[in-house]
Structure 1
Amino acid sequence: MFFENLLINTQKFKCVQFNLDNMHFNLEAVACNSQQTHILIDHYLSSVTVFNYDYGLFPDFGSDHNSLSVDWLVASMQQADKNILKKYAEVTADYFLHKKKELNKYLYFSICYNYDSDCANKAIRIKIIPLVYTEDKNLYASLCILEPINYIGKPVLKMHKVNEDKTLIYIPSSDRFVDEEETRLSRLECDILCMSGEGVKEQEIADNLDIPLFYLKRCKNSIFEKLKVKSISEAIYVAYKQGLL
């Protein structure tokens, strides 16, 4: 599944002095006490270890404490979503390994993924946290934390800068992160969606909002980019499900 994509196999470890055995026990104890699902990504051994204690995930992912039942999920995933999640894994690896390593202890990522497009409560947030670096600055282990959330739409990758209390969102089309505030729909964009949903034609919408037609089209493209959709009907559906309309 997705977690295997998070394994970084391109690193060359020169001298490794870590033993994750004790960490396994500690992580499982923390997961059990907090009733969360933690996944340890061991880049050195190329292994994935599951500590599944979030009872909210049991109905969809099984109740085994050391595995997740995801065969049904992989089989039902659209290829486009698989490609997006794989790309997000590559982006996180690039930042953990090649971007200002001295700041990485203040940085983690999260992915919001809706695995049932008809139900907002069939979604998870996957937090991806760099856990242990070696002296030669290879990433030895990462920690993933799974949380059930209400979300609908395409998978979204966020970067969290803890020391700045700032959240950025990854924009695939430009391959960059932007401030989360820049991705929120404006009042004008919400009005455009509402009128479009009522069947109002573009020129009439532009006249009602007192804006040029070319600017209306630009706003619609901005809406598509923010909501990660390709049509106005998709945008209306996603915005409605997210409580924006």
Structure 2
Amino acid sequence: MKKILLCIVTLFLVSCVEKTKPYSIAIDKSWYSLALNGVEANLNGFINDLLLEISKEKKIYFEIIDNNFDELPIDLKKKKYAAILSPMEPYNFNKAKYDFSKDIIKTGFVLMIAKEAKYKSLSNMLNKHVGYISDTGSVIFLQKYANIFEEPYISLPTMLDDIANGNIEGAILSIIPAYKYATDLYQNQLKTVEPPLNDQAIRLVTLKDQNQDLLNLFNASIAQMEKDNRLKELKKKWSLPH
């Protein structure tokens, strides 16, 4: 388990926080549970910038702990850190054990189609061919529609090329790489369909009824950054969906 102290390099802020105990937050920087397809560095850069902004705004600082995905909730339960940053879903059974912050960034799946296509949702794609990456679990969204032809892929670029070339009508992929491809390499050929197919998002997660001060500070900062568009600008900086 690697520990990294996130510091603000200004004498003023250091003097404000040097006597304050840091909030320890654990994160899996590989984002193993998300299908990011090489965009991990963008997400980590955004998270680092976000925590720096909150540090400056609230005059606090964080100890960032890099941990494995499967150990995050285990060590949180052992109180080895105050919180985790996680795409854990706020289902009722999770809410019984944890408290969740406001959404930081959406991480669910989205439908991607050709730029000129008019499809508004999967329900418009009956008898059409829709691709998915085999090991991401995204096929579950297609299984709801008996008349959509499921097309499994191993290679994401091959799948996107097939949409652009008209070999398939669409594909399901994680919103973060989908946004990057739609605004970069395939900006003239492909687009995403809003809203996402599920409500998964990265949030700050704490044990139930514990570290409420951290959760309140975090939520207040996110709300303010949404209000003044700083959160949107940070996402744009790192080529993330906003």
**Fold in common (TM above 0.5):** no
Q: TM-score, structure 2 length as denominator?
A: 0.26
Q: Could you say which structure has the larger radius of gyration?
A: 1
Q: TM-score, structure 1 length as denominator?
A: 0.26
| Greater relative contact order structure (CA < 8 Å, 6+ sep) | 2
